[in-house]
Homo-oligomer: A and B are copies of this chain.
Amino acid sequence: MRYQDKDYQTVWLENGRLFIIDQNQLPFEFTIIELHDIEQVYEAIKIMKVRGAPAIGAVAALGYALAIGKGEDIHRSYQLLLSSRPTAIDLQNGLDFVKQAIARQITGAGIKAAAIGAAQQFTDNIANECLLIGKYGNELIADNCRILTHCNAGALATVDYGTALAPMREAHYAGKNIFVYVDETRPRLQGMRLTAWELAQEGIDHAIIADNAAGYYMQQGKIDLVITGADRIARNGDIANKIGTYSKAVLAKENNIPFYIAAPFSTFYRQLLSGRDIPIEERPAEEVLTFNGVALSSGLSGALNPAFDITKAKYISGYITPAGIFNKKDFDKLWEMNIKVQNSGQI
């Protein structure tokens, strides 16, 4: 991700130290912070200084590996990080990737190096997979395409480049004229704060809209394609993603607009048969009732704040993955590919 003529990743290791871009400060301030210990990693995920399923997976894997290197308890560290947020499966996949690498060490001597190596590989895989998602997803984007996206599934949500935003970057680099409708994505406004900021950095034409307006533009025939990311993809193709994704998928179907999910392999979870059993995080009411400490409501009313929803496979036109675009018909091939990738540790 380019910012003021310099390339950044969202999460990275530098001389054995773990850094992130603080996403709670964006777009008002671009702040890099170091996470010094596993409690800070836990906290950064929980209060969403780092968010987006693949980025959560990467920071958890790196934080876990560093904790192991410092001699922290392997089991406790795993459980602490796993408990930071419930919905994105990349978190568990990242931790498991590191744990399995440790388990392969016969003696204890190589554990530290194995953990760091695995965490870095998991992180690099996500970045590389996002490039491939961009390459394949670009094929869906015609010249003059008007695309809707929800939440932030850009470089900030991954490690670099993005999932849903990767095809838009590719199309833009290829010289296609595109326009992106950016759902502001209440309550935390990741679309308004993060996606719009990323698109502005890239010079991609876009406008922020209230989440309420997406259906209107679909009805008006002004949206040709919807692409979002995902927090978890079940065996049958059901997905969990940011609250409001389900609504946009239903509206897209009603208006005959293709609706695609873009995700790296870290977001797939073949052990889960359907979306029914994906845990949905309930976040604090204050996220709805206040903005940066400013009250939006009277204080007389409470709020409910589910952070994700489930979109059933029947609403999804296809899945943009690092191994190509899959639909329900060739979904079994996707899972074979997924097993191969997760076993080999790379695409």
Interfacial residues, chain A to chain B (CB-CB below 8 A): 26-28, 181-182, 184-187, 189, 192-193, 196-197, 199-200, 206-217, 219, 242-244, 246-247, 250-251, 254, 280, 288-289, 291-292, 294-298, 300-306, 309-310
Contact = CB atoms under 8 A, between A and B. Distances in A.
Main secondary structure of the interface of A (DSSP, over half): mixed
Given A187-B212, A209-B303, 8 more contacts: A27-B298, A193-B298, A209-B288, A211-B244, A213-B244, A216-B309, A250-B251, A291-B296
A243 to B, nearest CB: 5
Nearest to A27: B298
Given A247-B251, A294-B291, A296-B192, A182 B301 contact: yes
Contacts of A291: 291, 294, 296
Contacts of A301: 182, 192, 196-197, 199-200, 206-208
The copy count of this chain in the complex is: 2
A193 B296 contact: yes
Given A291-B294, A301-B207, A212 B186 contact: yes
Contact of A196 (B193, B300, B305): B300
A243 B216 CA distance: 7
Q: Which 10 A-B pairs have the closest CB atoms?
A: A212-B244, A27-B298, A215-B247, A200-B300, A196-B301, A186-B210, A216-B309, A208-B303, A212-B243, A187-B210
Contacts of A210: 186-187, 211, 243-244, 288, 305
Most buried by B among A192, A215, A251: A215
